[in-house]
Amino acid sequence: MTRKDRALAMLVTGLLLVPCAAHASYQSSSDTGVTALDYIENNRRAERENRLTEEQKQLLADAEAMKEHLRHPLDTAAPAPVAFEGDDLAYDERTGDFTAKGDVHILQMDAHRFQGADVSGNLQRQEITIPGKAHILQMTPNMARITLDGYRTNYNYATHTGTMADAAGKIDHYYITGKRFEFYPDHYVAYDGTATKCGAKKPDYHWSAEKMTIYPHDKIVLEKMKFWIKSTVLYQRDHYVADLNPQNKHQDLPTLGYDADDGVSVEYGIKKPLAKHVDLNLNLRVVQHGGWRSNYEARWTNRKMSAAVVYGHYEDGDSKWIRRQPSFLWSYGDHIAGSPFYYSLGYEYGRWYQKGIHSNHTSYDLGIGHDPIKMGTYTLYLHTGYNLTKESYDGSKVQGLTFDGVLTKDFDARWAAYVGYHYSKKNARNSLFDYETDDFSKKLEGGFSYRLDDRNRFVVGTRYNLDAGKWDDIDYYWYHDMHCSELVLRYRSKRNTWGIRFEFTPW
């Protein structure tokens, strides 16, 4: 990710406090600015992922209608009221026991639905028992979205606790199976189960574990875990924690690629918590024309500050490499007095290596920006800053202003476009290293995205050298969705080179 792309990421998210290792939920590989389209594409993917099914919409409508027909004022301290429908209902007012047969529907006003053919329970203890096949649907506010089918279900709708056997379905965005489920108000436990975000009948990838503890929007704790690609175990752990935070940028899935510079490449990222606020990030990569090109990072992050020690190879969007041996990075950022303006501070000191040159590299960054400015379907991103870079190899020092302005337009579900102007005093002509550094100071970028259908998207990205008055890059992309994975083809017309990337798509 180039300096300009990091600036855009700050503009998109408000503040970017973890440089170098951070990526968008979906991140293009480019130096023509098409990362400006990633924000739009990620929003569209999030909308598709969060879209309600017809069944979920109906549950919310039925729960709302139930509120309108209450005979007594609602007691907010008591469990939500329950309504029963069935072909044959029997109720004992003395004990609270009930039975229901036929097509039984149990609706709780907090947006729970239970369905089964033979249901019994006790209204006083607020218990439900479904010995045969059961269907559970949950859309309760501040709780996980649940759609599960299973057997031998016991549930207490007052305490939101219960069990289910041989279950399969979905908890939030994960497809889950388990020989036994346990329900709790703030988490769920599955034994001898599987989890994946791939909705295929035979998932391209999944976890299996003897025990999975699911904390919605937080994490999954897996005991005796195996990670599968199709029918092959890629790795296994006795104890593994998978981060469910939507802001988490790491994917525990491999990426395969090819381009003229690197040849065939295989990349795989691992994130391992070391202590509170401290993670070890292993970004493992092997390339045909360079061998082992991995990097390793121990990173501390707490609120608005981040610090890291990093070591290894790093590549920018123009296939330029450097090796940190190692480096220390620090960053801090915050909004200014609660306004939409924010500032960011960055520092790096370390040993850099490129093309036979070793240098103690020092960099200071100060940035000031504005939160994204929405104007209908247009969004404007503005950021300016000051950079100072020093090198011990030749005693050089480059300092000066930077500016990034990008305008995007989300036309409709098919079309999106961007245009941007970028300036940096620092360039490859006055710098010792060309990593994340353009050959010129002033440039225009622009392009568009067109979605042909649900599986195919085409993108054009361009870069114009304002210093020399000529086109520097015109790149063409084809994104082909293969349900749980994606194939990305990139052709760089000004260089007559092409590249291909295959990656799993956990959304």
Burial 360-393 (b: 16+ CB within 10 A, else e): ebbbebebebbbbeeeeeebebbbbbebebbbee
Contact 447, 463 (CB under 8 A): no
Question: Does the predicted model carry a pTM greater than 0.85?
Answer: no
How far apart (Å, rounded) are the C-alpha atoms in residues 503 and 490? 14
Q: Residue 174 carries which side chain, given as an amino acid letter?
A: Y
How far apart (Å, rounded) are the C-alpha atoms in residues 25 and 369? 22
Domain ranges of the chain: 3-51+313-504, 79-243
- Asked whether the domain spanning 79-243 has the same topology as the one spanning 3-51+313-504, the reply is no
Distance of CA 229 to the CA centre of its chain: 20
Q: For 405-470, what is the HEC assignment?
A: EEEEEECCCCEEEEEEEEEECCCCCCCCCCCCCCCCCEEEEEEEEEECCCCEEEEEEEEEECCCCE
What pLDDT does residue 20 have? Answer: 34
A 10 A CB-CB count for 202 gives: 8
Pick the CATH number of 79-243 from 2.60.120.10, 3.60.15.10, 2.40.128.20, 2.60.450.10: 2.60.450.10
Contact 354, 337 (CB under 8 A): no
Determine the topology of domain 3-51+313-504 in CATH. Answer: Porin (2.40.160)
What pLDDT does residue 430 have? Answer: 94
What pLDDT does residue 23 have? Answer: 34
Q: Residue 259 carries which side chain, given as an amino acid letter?
A: D
Q: pLDDT truncated to tens, each residue of the chain (507 aa)? A: 455 555 555 454 444 333 333 333 445 566 788 888 887 887 887 788 888 999 999 999 998 888 887 776 776 667 778 888 888 888 888 898 988 888 888 888 888 899 998 899 898 888 999 999 999 999 988 888 999 999 999 999 888 899 999 999 999 889 999 999 999 988 999 999 999 988 888 888 899 999 999 998 888 999 999 998 888 998 888 998 887 765 554 456 788 999 888 899 999 888 888 888 999 999 999 999 889 999 999 999 998 999 999 999 999 888 889 999 999 999 999 999 989 999 999 999 999 999 999 999 999 999 999 999 999 999 999 999 999 999 999 999 999 999 999 999 999 989 999 999 999 999 999 999 999 998 899 999 999 999 998 889 999 999 999 999 999 999 999 999 887 888 999 999 999 999 999 888 754
What stretch of H or E contains 62? helix 54-68
Counting beta carbons within 10 angstroms of the beta carbon of residue 467, is it exposed (0 to 12), middle (13 to 18) or buried (19 or more)?
Answer: middle
